[in-house]
A and B are shown apart, each in its own frame.
Chain A
């Protein structure tokens, strides 16, 4: 992709992102345009509710889309993604364990500590599953096998999760079920002070792997012959993905669709394989998708509460299916 086209596309996506962010901040059950700026309710809604939600949407969307891209490139499989490969399920199970454990040792009163433990467990769960998938993919090169194992692993982890849910008390179960539906609305500005540095470090770190990721698209043998340390690349991508998915899942719940579909859509829209371009586009497109879903959730929330997972999947999946049928491009 020529440099001028890349800059133009990036600017256009940034513009769309800015418009969506403004919509997300202003529209909802209460329209901010209808409130005087001097009214204390204005700043309360803006800073305590809408701003954290908008920032969380951007972080969750861009982070999950980037993870999906990294996994698809690493496994050279367009069907890879944190949700499909069971990475999100790993996070969920470990969050379930953490939630019950924190509750049972009565430290939930320490809010930051509680969330830190949940986040740490979520990262551990994501890391654990990605590592298993990677070991299997090294033993068995078949993409179909890796995906099936990922799906099976997701089912096994969900079964364990079900067991924990069955044994938990009603209050914990309700909290956990609500978390599991996926939401960008439960994050506070205080939480974001913790999330943003982790997010920023992992995003910046991932840009240092552009060159090896471009090479690994050929295959591992070619990549190795081009001077890429494939084992180091694998481990780095696992750590980046696990930390990003873990943090996002801890705060937003397991969000489906974004991780697998945004990279596919990005490849269909922006016909490039270069990771500098694809990473930039996935970050922006992923943020736009979750922001759009959140705007829809907010606008409809006066009638009923919509889980963000439902919206991302209901709107996004048909769009990607349509694009796949319409396009003759090979996306992977």
Chain B
């Protein structure tokens, strides 16, 4: 599903390449729950941003379903790959429904009107994460664990075969962390989604993931 060859990740600044990590080779399949492990600052978020198209690769290739990711339009990529990031969202009267409904952005018209079908997809996404009773609540009124579930529901409403989560457990308590991974494992098993989760806590992820990618110093990458 995702094939990464000789990937070099990092940032371009004033024409210079500031490489964070080099020589990444990975082959990830549908149904995999992949744990991306590594210390803070090693380049996990940079790698995820590069996979999702938020950052351009410095070198190497990323193929999704055998097509180079650079060949996809933003709209096409939005229908293939969704994200959940660490940064908290909120304010502006955003309700649970509003946030999950943004998952339909790649599919709806320019005026942002949801069709009946879109609405039923959003409802189903909320149901899958037991969020339907909270649909009219403001995001600001939710706990951190509930917020993360809302963002995952947004990804489900986006109907992408790949979901990428960057440090989703950062603000969660012990119970919420395990609840979150149970949900992710279920999504991989039942819907065949490829889910990539970054964390520096291998012990937490171990019982749930079926593949691990460990990033370490000196561009050392261990894939299990």
Contacts and interface: CB of A to CB of B under 8 A. Distances in A.
Interface residues of B, number: 36
Interface stretch (B25-33, B78-86, B122-130, B208-216): B78-86
Interface string B79-102: 101110101011111110011001
Interface in A200-217: 207-208, 210-211, 214-215, 217
B169 interface: no
Interface string B41-75: 00000000100111000000000000000000011
B5 interface: no
Contacts of A271: 93
Nearest to B113: A276
Which of B52, B112, B138 gathers most chain A CB within 10 Å?
B112
A221 B102 CA distance: 13
B148 to A, nearest CB: 14
A213 to B, nearest CB: 8
Interface string B121-151: 0000000000000000010100000000000
Given A221-B83, A226-B102, A331 B92 contact: yes
A332 B90 CA distance: 7
Contacts of A219: 85, 87, 89
Interface stretch (B8-16, B103-111, B199-207): B103-111
B92 A267 contact: yes
B91 A78 contact: yes
A222 B93 contact: no
B158 interface: yes
Nearest to B105: A226
Q: Which of B75, B78, B83, B93 has the most CB of A within 10 A?
A: B93
Interface residues of A, number: 32
B74 A214 contact: no
A227 to B, nearest CB: 4
A78 B92 contact: yes
Contact of A331 (B93, B105, B108, B110): B93
A225 B91 contact: no
Contacts of A332: 91-92
Nearest to A226: B105
B85 A221 contact: yes
Given A218-B89, A226-B78, A329 B98 contact: no
A225 B110 contact: no
A197 to B, nearest CB: 22
Contact of B74 (A78, A218, A224, A276): A224
A200 to B, nearest CB: 18
A273 B98 contact: yes
A228 B78 CA distance: 9
B110 A210 contact: yes
Given A217-B94, A225-B81, A273-B94, A211 B74 contact: no
Interface in A252-278: 267, 271-276
Given A78-B92, A222-B85, A330 B140 contact: yes
A214 B105 contact: yes
Nearest to B139: A330
A211 B53 CA distance: 20
Nearest to B160: A225
A225 B54 contact: yes
Given A226-B158, A227-B78, A273-B93, A211 B87 contact: no
A229 interface: yes
Nearest to B104: A226
Interface string B158-195: 10000000000000000000000000000000000000
B92 A215 contact: no
Contacts of A228: 74, 105
A76 interface: yes
Which has the most chain B C-beta neighbours within 10 Å: A214, A219, A273?
A: A273
Given A224-B54, A330-B92, 8 more contacts: A211-B111, A211-B112, A218-B102, A222-B83, A226-B106, A227-B74, A227-B75, A332-B92
Interface of A: 72-73, 76, 78, 207-208, 210-211, 214-215, 217-219, 221-222, 224-229, 267, 271-276, 329-332
26 contacts: A72-B92, A73-B92, A210-B112, A211-B111, A218-B89, A219-B85, A219-B87, A222-B85, A222-B102, A224-B53, A224-B54, A225-B78, A225-B82, A225-B83, A226-B106, A227-B105, A267-B92, A267-B93, A274-B98, A275-B112, A276-B112, A276-B113, A329-B93, A330-B93, A331-B91, A332-B92
- 8 tightest CB-CB pairs across the interface, nearest first? A227-B78, A226-B105, A211-B112, A273-B93, A332-B91, A227-B75, A330-B140, A227-B106
